[in-house]
Amino acid sequence: MSKKAYIKALANYIPEKVVTNYDFEKTLDTSHDWIVTRTGIETRHMSRDDESAYDMAMSAINNLKLQGIDLSEVDGIIVPTTTKEYIFPSTATLIQNALGLKNCFTLDLSAACSGYIYSLNTATSLIESGMCKNVLVVATEKITKDPNPEDRGTVILFGDSASVALVSAREDDGRGIIAMQMKSEVREDIISLKASGSAFPITPERMDNHEHQIFMEGSEVFKIAVTEFANSMNQVLEKAGVSLDQVALFVPHQANIRIIQYVAKKSNFPIEKVSLIIHKYGNTSASSIGLGLTEAYHEGRIKKDDYVLLTAFGGGLTWGSTLIKWA
C-alpha cells in the first residue's frame, strides 16, 4: 500500500520579550493606531541578544518532546530560515547533532516567508517517494535583526519565533497532505535583502546605505500578494478536487491583516475560519504559518477529516499552498 505524508505533531517557541506599538512611538514617527490600521499588528516578540535562530529552533523542538514525541526515527531535517546560524554548517545539521541522529540528512531552505510551505511540500515528496519516513520541519527566524530600525515601514512588521512539525508516513487512506503548489518570480526591485551575498559583500558604504537590511516597497508587494495568494489557493484546491467551502480552516502567512482580509473577502471565505495571529506576533517570516497552525490545533480548531489550507507569499518572490485532510 502506498504511503501518505501527514503532520504527526506540532510545537512552537515564542521568545519572552514583547515589543508593543507604543515602544515604536518612542523612536519613530508612528503611532499604535497607525500601525494597527495598516498592518493589524499590536505586539510582536523579540529574541534575546544571546538567543540565536538555532536556540529558538531547539526550544521549539524541546516543546515538541514535552508532548512525548519520540524523534529517534527522524531521517530528515529541513530548516526553512533566512536567518540561519552560519553559511555552513547548516542550522539543520546543528539540530541533527543536538538530537544525536546518525542516519539523517539535513538541509536549510531559503524561501523567505514561504519557507514553511516549501519545506512541508518537500518533506511530503521525500516521504511519498519512499526516501524518508519521518521529516522534521523546523522553521526559525531571528528576523527582527534585519529591518532598518529607522524605517517605520518595515521595522514595525517583524517578530521572532520558531515552529516545528513532524511530518511522517502513514498508510494511504486519503488523509494527510493531499495537494501542493509552489511558484516563484524574481522581483528584487520591490523586496530584497542583498548585502552579505556574494554579489553584495557587506562594506561600510553598503551599511551606510542600509543594503544589509530589508528593502520593501509595501504597496507593490501587496498588489502581487493578493493576486498570487488567491491563485495559489485556487490551484491547490483544484488539484485536490476540493471546493473552498469544504475548507474548515485557512492558515495564511501573517504579513499584513489587509492582505488576509482582502483575500478572504474576494474568495467569499468566512474570516471566522481563518487562523489569525498577526496581532500578537507580527510577521515571523518562515515560522508564521507554523505558529498559526500549531495554535489552531492546540485550541481544538482542527479535527480529524477537516480540510486545512495553508498559503504563503514571501520575498523572492515565492508563494505556495499545502492542502491537508487532517489525519
298 has catalytic annotation = no
The residue annotated as part of the active site, out of 113, 121, 132, 256, is 113
Told to judge if 132 belongs to the known catalytic residues of this protein, a careful annotator would answer no
What lies within 8 Å, CB to CB, of 198 at 6+ separation is: none
CA angle 150/151/154 to nearest 5° reads 135
**Sequence-distant (≥ 6) Cβ neighbours of residue 52 within 8 angstroms:** 85, 142
Question: Given 121, 134, 253, 256, which residue is catalytic?
Answer: 253
CB 326 within 8 A of CB 240: no
Which residues partner with 320 through β-bridges? 182, 312
Beta bridge mates, 318: 184, 314
DSSP 159-219: --EEEEEEEEEEE-SS-EEEEEEEEE---TTTEE--BTBTTB---HHHHHTTTTS-EE-HH
**Phi/psi at 322 (5° precision):** -135, 130
Residue 40: Cβ within 10 Å count: 19
Assigned C-alpha cell, 179: 495537494
Active-site residue, 104 included = no
Instruction: List, by residue number, the catalytic residues.
Output: 113, 253, 283
